[in-house]
Amino acid sequence: MADLAAARQFVYREARLLDRLALDACVGDGSPEAVLLALRAYQNRDGGFGNALEPDTRTSSSQPLYFELALEYMDEAGSFDAESVRLACDWLESVLGPEGGAPILIDTFRDADFAPHWADNPPTPGINPNGGIAGLLWKASVRHPVLDRLDDFCWRSLAALNGAHDVSEALAFLEHSPDRRRAEELAESLVRQLPDTRMFKSDPAASEYGLDALFYARTPRAWAAQWLEPALIRGALSHLEQAQQDDGGWPINWTPPGSAAVAEWRGLLTVRAVRVLRAYGRL
Q: What is the SS3 assignment for 148?
A: helix
Please name the CATH architecture into which domain 4-279 falls: Alpha/alpha barrel (1.50)
The band of 215, judged by pLDDT with boundaries at 50, 70 and 90, is very high
Greatest distance between any 2 Cα atoms in the chain: 50
Q: Rounded to whole angstroms, how far apart are CA atoms 238 and 232?
A: 10
Query: Cβ of 14: how many Cβ atoms within 10 Å?
Result: 18
Can you tell me the mean pLDDT for 51-78? 98
Residue 29 has pLDDT above 90, yes or no: no
Supply the pLDDT for residue 1. Answer: 86
CA angle 66, 177, 226 (to 5 degrees): 95
Supply the pLDDT for residue 192. Answer: 97
Supply the pLDDT for residue 98. Answer: 94
- Which tens digits make up the pLDDT trace of 134-160? 999 999 999 999 999 999 999 999 999
Report if pTM > 0.95.
yes
Supply the pLDDT for residue 239. Answer: 98
Q: Percent of the chain, pLDDT > 90?
A: 98
Residue 52 has pLDDT above 90, yes or no: yes
User: What mean pLDDT value characterizes the chain?
Assistant: 97
- Which tens digits make up the pLDDT trace of 80-100? 999 999 999 999 999 999 999
Question: How many CA atoms does the CB half-sphere of 170 hold within 13 Å?
Answer: 25
Can you tell me the mean pLDDT for 119-123? 85
